[in-house]
Amino acid sequence: MLRYFRWMAITSLVIYLSGASSDFALAEISSDYGQINAINISHRGASGHAPEHTLQAYELGNAMNGDYIEIDLQMTKDGELIALHDETIDRTTERKGLVKNLTLKEIKKLDAGSWFNDAFPEKMSTEYLGLQIPTLREVLDRFGPDSKFFIETKSPEVYPGMEEKLINILNEYNLIGAHHTFGNVVVQSFSVESLRKVHEIDKSIPLVQLLSYYAPAVITDTEVSKIKEYAVGVGLHYTAVSPGYIKKVTDSGLMVFPYTVNEKEDMNMLLDWGVTGMFTNYPDRLNEVIQSRISKKP
- Domain spanning 2-14+22-295, CATH class: alpha beta
Q: What is the pLDDT of residue 10?
A: 55
**Per-domain residue ranges of the chain:** 2-14+22-295
Q: Which residues pair with 210 in a beta bridge?
A: 235
Mean pLDDT of 226-236: 98
User: Which of 21-25, 210-214, 253-257 shows the lowest mean pLDDT across its residues?
Assistant: 21-25
Q: What is the predicted pLDDT for the residue at 162?
A: 98
Does residue 246 carry a pLDDT above 80? yes
Question: What is the average per-residue pLDDT within 185-196?
Answer: 98
pLDDT given at position 1 = 45
pLDDT at 34: 60
pTM: 0.91
Q: Would you list the DSSP string of 160-218?
A: TTHHHHHHHHHHHTTSSSTTSPTTSEEEEES-HHHHHHHHHH-TTS-EEEE---SSS--
| Residue percentage of the chain with pLDDT more than 70 | 87
Residues above pLDDT 90, as percent of the chain: 82
Average predicted confidence (pLDDT) for the chain: 90
What is the DSSP-derived secondary structure letter of residue 106?
A: H
Among 53, 85, 180, 199, the active-site one is: 85
Among this protein's residues, is 179 annotated catalytic? Answer: no
Choosing from 43, 49, 53, 180, the catalytic residue is 43
- Determine the average pLDDT of the residues in 258-272: 98
The yes-or-no answer on residue 85 being catalytic is yes
